[in-house]
Structure 1
Amino acid sequence: MGLISLLWGIVAMLWMIVALIPLLGWGNWFLIPFAAVGAIIAAIGVMLTAPGNRGRAKTGLALNGLVIVVAVVRLMLGGGMI
């Protein structure tokens, strides 16, 4: 689960970079639910993994959380209108 959430977070981060380009802000509307699913997978991975092996799941959770925050801020600034 940790590897899946880490890869999910990397894909979300790349998608976020593309969505920061002007006229592509509408991608944030799809990015937020995508990253939320990745965060849920990461949270499950943190709960089910042994304490010594939680690094990937925690990193995936942090990446997906960062993507959600940046996408929400971008939408609040009006970046998703166009």
Structure 2
Amino acid sequence: MLNLLSFIFGIVSLVIVIPATIPLLGWANWIALPLIVIGVVLGQLSSSNAGRNFCIVVMLIAVVRLSLGGGII
């Protein structure tokens, strides 16, 4: 059950992160990062690692995009 919740948080975060790759929408990553962290924590508490790993991949995409934009743009 926790793995499913982790996947749901990861998918919702991915829906936010994908448009945030467009220039001047990088601020949306700051909205997605707390959701991703919740997904990682839920994935860590579950018996399976798939949801956690998916959230970590989404987190890496968001963090790389934030670092390229200087944290804001």
TM-score in same-fold range (> 0.5): yes
TM-score scaled by length of structure 2: 0.84
Task: Point out 4+ residue stretches in structure 1 off by more than 4 angstroms.
Answer: none
Structure with bigger gyration radius:
1
Aligned residues: 72
Match of 1:72 in 2: 63
Displacement, 1:81? Answer: 2.4
Which runs of 5 or more structure 1 residues have no equivalent in the other structure?
Answer: 47-53
Alignment TM-score, normalising by the size of structure 1: 0.76
**SS of aligned partner of 2:40:** helix
Would you say the 8 A contact 1:13–1:63 is kept in 2?
A: no
Structure 2: gaps spanning 5 or more residues? none
- Aligned pairs (5 A) from 1:1-20: 1-20=2-21
- Say what the alpha-carbon RMSD is for the aligned residues: 1.5
| Fraction of identical pairs, as percent | 40
Q: How does 1:21-60 map to 2 (within 5 A)?
A: 21-46=22-47, 54=48, 58-60=49-51
SS in 2 for 1:10: helix
